[in-house]
Structure 1
Amino acid sequence: MLFLFIFNSYGMKTDIMRKIHIRKPKLIKMQDEKQRTPLHYAAALGEYEIIKLLLEWDISAAYQGDDNQQIPLHLAAENGQVNLLKILLDPCPDTIELMDNEQQNILHFAAKNGNIDAVSFILKLPEMEDLVNAADMNGNTPLHLAAKNFHSSIVYILTRNSKVDIRAINKSNETALAVVQSSDDHGMELQKHLTLKALKRSYAKRAVNPKDVVDNVQFSYDEVEKVGERGGKKSREMAQIISVMATLIATFTFTAAFTIPGGFISDGPDEGMAILIKKSAFKAFVITDTIAMTSSMTAAVMVFWSSSRRSSESFMDSLPFAIGLTWIALVAMALAFVTGLFVVLSKNLWLGIVVCVIGCAAPAMLYIFAPLFLLVFDRLSSTRARRRNIVEDNPFLFVFRLAKMIS
């Protein structure tokens, strides 16, 4: 389609659209084989400026459904960008009530795709009460869909809202808790564990009688523990990898601490002191080496401690923190390597600078551009997951989600 080419190209998109509108105004309202208009594609691809233009020219396009009765607002919710939702709802607030062929509203779309910002925005809307517990054609509420896809952050946000019915039953006579327990995790043990933890927390917080949790397939709080008892092969393998990595990092950094750059003073009143102790780069080496050592040792101890306990849930709780600490240790070890080399190469400044640039490039990119990387990763992962009908997630977000639930 012509508009797909325009939206995926770089440069003067709005200028091209204006020229098309002047010369061929009918193209702005045309539909493809899926009955989608240019506004559908602009919403799906997150083209904010294009959406503004299209709404100015034809506001009725906001109400136009495709062959699945999905309107641009649904695709914007699936996209997850709050600014798109705002610009589409501002001139057409009543579109929030429209549903697709499966009777799903915008909260269904945002929840099942794991779009945290979109869900948070929708929950603040005045029409929220009509959306939070709305059931689709299968009886699934947004909470059911978020739970089914193991979007633990969405489950956490929804269950914190007092208007959300955490015991809503779908047409399979399942609550959100039962949906998680009965679903195949596809190797996503950590995601499933965090989703169950969020649901357990909501039941405990609302002081629900455990008997009320039991549904027609006889799920109860005991079943939550049984899920943890299974252990998860993938998580156990990951724990072994983390343990080996943490041990190796601790070994390297421990050795580096006692074979420090420049060596030690061999005589005089300062005998045994580091020769380069007054150098700033040496101080940076000591600090980063210490961070790497302590982080890796803590990660190794956490994996060992959690693996030795009988409670598999404790193991699943500890693993995300061990992953995060190992990640910190890896970056700190890289920085220790760079600063250690720089302090002994300071006489040859250009070589020291080259070493620093090469060694710091990757850690700097990861820390400075981490939000962009995570956004791109999540978008690509969710796209692949929808194509393959499985759930994927970024493992480095687990530690933040678990910390949020525990706090």
Structure 2
Amino acid sequence: MKHHHYDSAMVLVKQNPQASTLPNGENMSSLFMAAEAGQLELVKAMMQNGLVDIQTVEGQSVVHAAIKARNLDVLKALLERQSTYFCVYDGNGRSPLSYASSIGYFEGVCYFLGRSGYEAATYRRDRGDDGSFPIHWASKIGHVNIIQEFLKLRPDSKELLDYNGQNILHVAAMNGRVDVVSYVLKKPELAVLINQIDMKKGNTPLHLASKGEQARVVHILTWDKRVNLEIRNDKGLTALDVAAKHGYWTTTFQKRLTWLALRYAGATQTHKRNTSQGIQNFYYTARVNTLLLVATLIATVTFAAGFTMPGGYNSSDDHPYKGMATLVKKRMFHIFVLSNTIAMYTSIIVAVLLVWAMLNDLHLSLCSVKLSIPLLGISLSMVSLAFMAAISLVVSDVTWLAIVVLIIGSLSLLGLWMVFLPLSFPNSLTHRVSLYILRYPLYLLILATEKRKK
């Protein structure tokens, strides 16, 4: 079996079928290896001697091996031989149906759900610490097609709760399963799950997604008008309170995006962040230093650009405009000058504001940073615009090249604002129209930075 000599194995099995269930030094039997390899005829021959102990490998059963191999014929042969095999559990406490749901084995799940006499498998709780049901495993891993099959054949499975009192939407939101969350929100018959609180800590799916830094799930939930943003858990915390408590002052970007998604949805915060003065000062000091460095670099670059005009200067003694820029009457030159001037002065203003922020006054630092970030965004945009205008101006005789430069520059400016806008006005902006507009670039930023889930 180990070296895949199945014909030889069949000869040996016919001589001594009982030896098929004996474990080797790895505590693995030939029957287990045959099921894992999907060898139907061998499995049938090995089981001819009657009922066998299917717990042939510690923490794993032959039935689980057949499910892992995704071989429906072997699975049927095992269960037809002894129907009680669907009650066995693996080392993680998962029943065969739960295991099939967790690995996304759709055919196996359909077989369990469609076979008469196996109805109890749907409602058999696992032996793990959280007491999940098979549908919870499908939700936890994100297998929407399996959830659909459960709800089609066992509609009441949507009401199943684990030991934490959590439904499938709780589990999906907590684990960041966007497809499952979107599916639940689209089904009117599942609307009862949207604001349901768990029985252990009173958390809604939005609370759990906020706590788990699932920014994309939070964004999707907050877009649905049926989601109540004001529900409080057993500790009296709203979803925004939970997001602030679990990461506002940390450097994890996903935590910050989660907080912004709730903020732009109009969620309210009822509890003041319980953070020491020292941590807050450290947070703003690091941020001020970074912003000041960027502002200084912009001021330096734009100052130098002011004396190195594109096209140069008129140096001829007989020229009526000696010392003037040669391209001064070009429209793109006007854009360059104006953009460069705006960039320089806004960066200087940002630098002055940030100097005030270094006076070790937390309130002053907060105000300075709030004013500096939008101005710095304007400064960066103007630098980009000045560069685009200058390059397109000096290559204007080559039309296609000038057009390409303008297209690249325009797309870069759009990308800059898509990234910068959601981070510019997190605290001071309260106008609902502005918040609604900012949610679109925020979602793109979440998609771009989202961690890929296994």
Per the shorter chain, which TM-score range?
A: 0.5 to 0.7
Equivalent AA in structure 2 for residue 258 of structure 1: F
Which residue of the partner structure matches residue 105 of structure 1?
204
Structure-2 residue corresponding to 1:400: 425
- Going from structure 1 to structure 2, the CA distance change for 1:48 and 1:230 (only over 3 Å counts) comes to closer
* CA displacement, residues 71-120 of structure 1 (integer Å, 9 cap, x when unaligned): 11213444496745533564452674451444433353255356665675
Is residue 295 of structure 1 aligned with residue 392 of structure 2? no
CA contact (8 A) 2:292 2:350 kept: yes
Q: Name the CA shift for 1:3/1:51 in 2 (closer, same or farther; >3 Å).
A: closer
Q: Say yes or no: does 1:58 pair with 2:107.
A: no
Aligned letter for 1:145?
V
Aligned equivalents of 1:295, 1:31: Cα separation in 2: 62
1:345-373 deviations in whole A, cap 9, x for unaligned?
233456556666666665444445x4xxx
2:367 aligns with 317
Residue from 245, 267, 291 that aligns with 2:294: 245
Q: Please tell me whether the aligned partners of residues 65 and 71 of structure 1 are also in contact (alpha carbons under 8 angstroms).
A: yes
Out of 279, 299, 307, which is 2:358 matched to? 307
Cα distance between partner residues in 2 of 1:58 and 1:400: 47
Matches within 5 A, 1:127-276: 132-135=231-234, 139-142=235-238, 145-150=242-247, 154=262, 157-159=266-268, 166=270, 176-177=271-272, 180-181=273-274, 183=275, 227=277, 232-266=281-315, 268=319, 270-276=321-327
Corresponding residue SS for 1:232: helix
Name the TM-score, length of structure 1 as normaliser.
0.57
* 1:123-169 Cα deviation digits (max 9, x unpaired): 856xx59x72441xxx3533653442255655894547xxxxx4xxx
Which structure dedicates a bigger proportion of its chain to helix? 1
Name the counterpart of 1:214. Answer: none
Letter of the structure 2 residue corresponding to residue 255 of structure 1? A
* TM superposition shift of 1:249: 0.8
* Superposition CA RMSD, Å: 4.5
Distance 1:341 1:54, change over 3 A: farther
Normalising by structure 2, we get a TM-score of 0.52
Return the alpha-carbon distance in structure 2 between the equivalents of residues 317 and 230 of structure 1: 17
Q: Which amino acid aligns with 1:105?
A: T
Q: Confirm or deny: 8 A CA contact 2:185 2:191 kept in the other structure.
A: no
User: Offset of 1:246 from its aligned partner?
Assistant: 0.8
Of all paired residues, the percent bearing the same amino acid is: 26
Query: Offset at 1:312?
Result: 2.2
Based on CA coordinates, which of the two structures has the bigger radius of gyration? Answer: 2
Q: How many residue pairs end up in the alignment? A: 305
**Which residue of structure 2 aligns with residue 333 of structure 1?**
383
Say whether the 8 Å CA contact 1:289–1:332 is kept in structure 2.
yes
Specify whether residues 344 and 105 from structure 1 end up closer, same or farther in structure 2 by C-alpha distance, changes over 3 A only. closer
Structure 1: state its 5+ residue gaps. 7-15, 161-165, 167-175, 185-226, 371-394
The residue type equivalent to 2:364 in the other structure is: S
Summarize the Cα distance change of 1:312–1:55 in structure 2 as closer, same or farther, 3 Å threshold: same
Amino acid in structure 2 at the alignment position of 1:289: N
Q: Which consecutive residues of structure 2, in runs of 5 or more, have no partner in the other structure? A: 1-98, 116-120, 249-258, 433-454
The answer to whether the 8 A contact 1:80-1:117 is kept is: no
CA distance in structure 2 between the partners assigned to 1:325 and 1:306 by the alignment: 15
Deviation string 1:238-258 (CA, Å, 9 cap, x unpaired) is 312322221221121122123
Kindly indicate whether structure 1 or structure 2 has the higher relative contact order, using CA contacts under 8 Å at least 6 residues apart: 1
Partner Cα separation in structure 1 for residue 383 and residue 144 of structure 2: 42
Summarize the Cα distance change of 1:361–1:72 in structure 2 as closer, same or farther, 3 Å threshold: same
